[in-house]
Structure 1
Amino acid sequence: MQIKPAQVKELRDRTGAGMMDCKNALVETGGDIDAASDVLRKAGQAKADRKASRIAAEGQVLVASDRDSGRHVLLEVNSETDFVAKDENFREFTALVGQTVLEHVPGSVEELMELDAGGPTMGESRQALVTKVGENIIVRRFSVLASEDTVGFYVHLDRIGVLVELDGGSEELARDLAMHVAATSPRYVSVDDVPQDEIARETDILSAQAAQMAKSEQILEKIVSGRLRKHFDEITLTGQPFVKDTDTKVGQLLSRNGARVKRFLRFEVGEGIEKKQAGFGEEVAALL
């Protein structure tokens, strides 16, 4: 039977699939748009399944906030290439994920994928995007910070996102500290937050290093103490020099403003994901 362009357009608008895929699905189903939509969804699932094993280490970090409810979401969605991460369809999907998490506060990514996204579920929307852009797309992680205190955020080039919660202080200070955390990546707020086993391990290492010096026991203790203090200053937010004024430590800045950092969250695109390193020949072959 003859398939009209209007039918193809309607199916394409409904599914987001390519023109030829829509036409072929309509031919297969005798022009039945609902049945053709099911055919495309099944085909999309098959394509998504084939791409699921491919490494997705690029993508976007996003912050979504609702000041009225006091909820703030930090989110990472991954793609295989930076090219797709900049695609408008990918960015719209990421924004939709952020708003859905903000509104429904799911307990996990799996729960998120089952939520309604204005018609299809989030999982179905992800599957449709995979089919459309031709890459594996993963909602990797999200974290919800619900607070009645001061919260500031900063996103750097869509690749690093930070939320900082303050007791006291101002939104401007919270944002400056979020920018600082994005730049320096501290592991803890203060020394009080460092686990005891990590303190013990670092002390043992530094003591073993100092023991090789021909110094008195008293001097060695001072050396270990000084190195330990320097190490914890480097990995704790309050011990680091403030990026906007390196003569002032963050702890001093907080005291000056009558504020305390309750917690911070930091996501960086692809951190912890082992990327596949292709040789030059493989890259050329992939391009061809």
Structure 2
Amino acid sequence: MNNIISSSLVKELRKKTGLGIMDCKNALIESNGNLDGAIEILRKQGFSTANKKMGRTTSEGLVHAYVAPNQRIAAMIEVNCETDFVAKNDSFRNFVKEITVLVAEKNPDDLNCLLSLKLPGDKTVENMLHNLVNTFGENIMIKRFTRFEAAGNGVIHAYIHDDYLTEGKIGVLVETSFNALFNPEIKSFIRTLLMHIAATKPKYLDKKEIPEYVLNKEKAILKTLAENEGLSGNILETFIQGKLKKYLKNSCLLEQDFVMDPDKTVGDMIKALNEKNNGEPFSILRFVRYEKGESLEF
């Protein structure tokens, strides 16, 4: 089976996990060369808690967001490059900003559709991308994009987090109910909520959003970990339920402890806001979070 495991595949798994060559190679052998399968095998072996390099950023680039003036349409995009020299260049940054607006205005179905759209000056996005590659002499790629169009009375908010070294490191889009525009207390909460999402990395709005197969996969991994520790019977089940509860709390935005008041969850904060204010209840409808260069997480 060893002969099907290429060095490039081992290298890719090491980049995603930060683990040693033999750990990665053995996991790939066991998964018959399947990268996702190898990651799941490593999780079952307990590496998800032993190694903090899983899912770390691996490339340079920029995350950018645009919200239309009426806050009804928004877009967010991640464009990657090889060096921070290019990421900080005005030509690169202007290109990213222009195509973000283009996504919001034209609503492309996929990357190929976006590449075919025309920018001011009658050049396509693909033409401009190739020009940048030729100018800087390094690979530049559009990694992903998301477009929100508010449904009903929804409105959209955006936040881009910069640290002292990097601009455009993390981006967040959130759609909320319409009354967020008029209530100062709710507006203040939303500003903090955007930063909360950037910091805490929730994957889902609430438990109902988690696909059944994701929960089943998590339970199977936890069961394997418990059995590896010699647990069985009621103790094993208690272990699984405890870890699953922690997983749900970490993964679901409404279940998370609010960063500005850790004694309350985000859901508790929204409930308190609605109890204080008459009229249409405030609610979070959906959100998306990008982190520059993030790879597949455990």
* TM-score > 0.5 by shorter chain: yes
* 2:127 pairs with 1:124: yes
Closer, same or farther: CA 83–224 of 1 in aligned 2, 3 Å: same
SS in structure 2 at match of 1:136: coil
Structure with greater contact order relative to length (CA < 8 Å, sep ≥ 6):
2
Distance 2:113 2:158 in 1: 26
Equivalent residue number for residue 153 of structure 1: 158
SS in structure 1 at match of 2:174: strand
| Residue identity matched to 1:122 | V
Q: Is the 8 A contact 2:72 2:149 kept in 1?
A: yes
TM-score by length of 1: 0.67
Equivalent residue number for residue 250 of structure 2: 234
Q: Is the 8 A contact 1:155 1:162 kept in 2?
A: yes
Equivalent residue number for residue 288 of structure 2: 265
| Residue identity matched to 1:90 | F
* 2:199 pairs with 1:183: yes
| Residue identity matched to 2:242 | G
* 2:155 pairs with 1:139: no
**How many aligned residue pairs are there?**
217
Structure 2: 5+ residue runs without aligned partners? Answer: 1-57, 163-167, 181-185, 275-281
Q: Structure 1 residue 94: deviation in Å? A: 0.9
Once the two structures are superposed, what CA deviation does each residue of 1:31-63 show, in whole Å capped at 9, x if it has no partner? xxxxxxxxxxxxxxxxxxxxxxxxx93100000
Once the two structures are superposed, what CA deviation does each residue of 1:171-219 show, in whole Å capped at 9, x if it has no partner? 43333222111111111111121222232333344456279458x84x6
Distance 2:290 2:108 in 1: 19
Distance 1:61 1:108 in 2: 18
Q: Structure 1 residue 80: deviation in Å? A: 1.0
Q: Structure 1 residue 222: deviation in Å? A: 4.7
Distance 1:106 1:235 in 2: 29
TM-score by length of 2: 0.65
Equivalent residue number for residue 27 of structure 1: none
| Residue identity matched to 2:119 | A
SS in structure 1 at match of 2:143: strand
Once the two structures are superposed, what CA deviation does each residue of 1:11-40 show, in whole Å capped at 9, x if it has no partner? xxxxxxxxxxxxxxxxxxxxxxxxxxxxxx
Q: Highest CA radius of gyration, 1 or 2? A: 1
Distance 1:224 1:99 in 2: 45
- For the aligned residues, what is the CA RMSD? 2.6
Q: Structure 1 residue 223: deviation in Å? A: 4.8
Closer, same or farther: CA 212–145 of 1 in aligned 2, 3 Å: same
Equivalent residue number for residue 41 of structure 2: none
Q: Is the 8 A contact 2:175 2:287 kept in 1?
A: yes
